[in-house]
Amino acid sequence: MGMTPRLGVNIDHVATLRQARGESYPSVVEAANVCLSNGADQITIHLREDRRHIQDTDVEAVRLVTKRYGKPLNLEIGCNQEIIDIAIATNPDWICLVPENRQERTTEGGLNLLDEKVFEKVKSTCETLKDKLPETLISLFLESDLSVLEKASQIKCDAVEIHTGDFARAHLNGEDYERYLSDYKKAQDFLESKKIGCHAGHGLTLESVKPLLEMKLFVEYNIGHWIICQAVFDGLGKVVSDLNQLFEGNQL
């Protein structure tokens, strides 16, 4: 028996619903509980600079839930000093560095490491995090472009999370997505040669994750928006449980 790929559930949009009314519900703590008790391997949250969904107090609250289950917390952050300080204080299992732009509706792509200023900022952030949090693992949210991945291999990171948004949209629209699969395979081969973990995230659904699982491309998948949307109809526990069963049937 091989290893089952890890299912990370991003619960940001439970907080989006809560913030829409400024109420205390729905609870992100309860969401984390339900996800982990239904087979999720980790919880992912993004503390954005504009605090549009996850709030500072949520980070510690969700961290306590993941600790209770003995499962990782994956904290997504931009390279902003105030947010980095919160990440250091929280000491999560994983930190995923992502680009942030106040105007965007959601993260629109990977970090552009080909831009020298971005590269230096990400490199120094990783060095700071490794110094302050030696046990915490770091991933970088990137496109599957080999020139970008080559730059990533010059940074102290443990994994790369490949931005799967364009693939997921093509899949959803019934367009040809083979070129994405071939790009992801090349990315996987390159990252494995550098001993860097290969993760995936953004825009994935139960259907679009299937070809990725079948090709055994990634060791970890972070899925959020679709899970929370589908939970409106099926309930959060069932959606996570169905995904978990799919993952267990597609061992690496």
Active site residue 202: yes
Q: Which distant-in-sequence residues (6+ apart) come within 8 Å of 58 by Cβ? A: 15, 28, 45, 47
The residue among 81, 83, 62, 82 whose CA lies nearest residue 72 is 62
The residue type found at 119 is F
Task: Kindly report, residue by residue over 49-62, the tens digit of the pLDDT.
Answer: 999 999 999 999 99
Q: Give the residue extent of every domain in the chain.
A: 6-246
For residue 96, give the 3-state DSSP assignment: strand
pLDDT at 91: 96
**Is 46 a residue of the active site?**
yes
Question: Which fold does the domain 6-246 belong to in CATH?
Answer: TIM Barrel (3.20.20)
Interval 60-95: pLDDT, tens: 999 999 999 999 999 999 999 999 999 999 999 999
Q: What percent of the chain has pLDDT over 90?
A: 95
Q: Tell me if residue 120 is catalytic.
A: no
Between 229 and 104, name the one with better pLDDT. 229
User: How far apart (Å, rounded) are the C-alpha atoms in residues 9 and 41?
Assistant: 8
pTM of structure: 0.96
Region 206-226 average pLDDT: 98
pLDDT of 104 reads 64
Among 13, 53, 76, 100, the one annotated catalytic: 76
The answer for residues whose C-beta is within 8 angstroms of residue 174's C-beta and 6 or more apart is: none
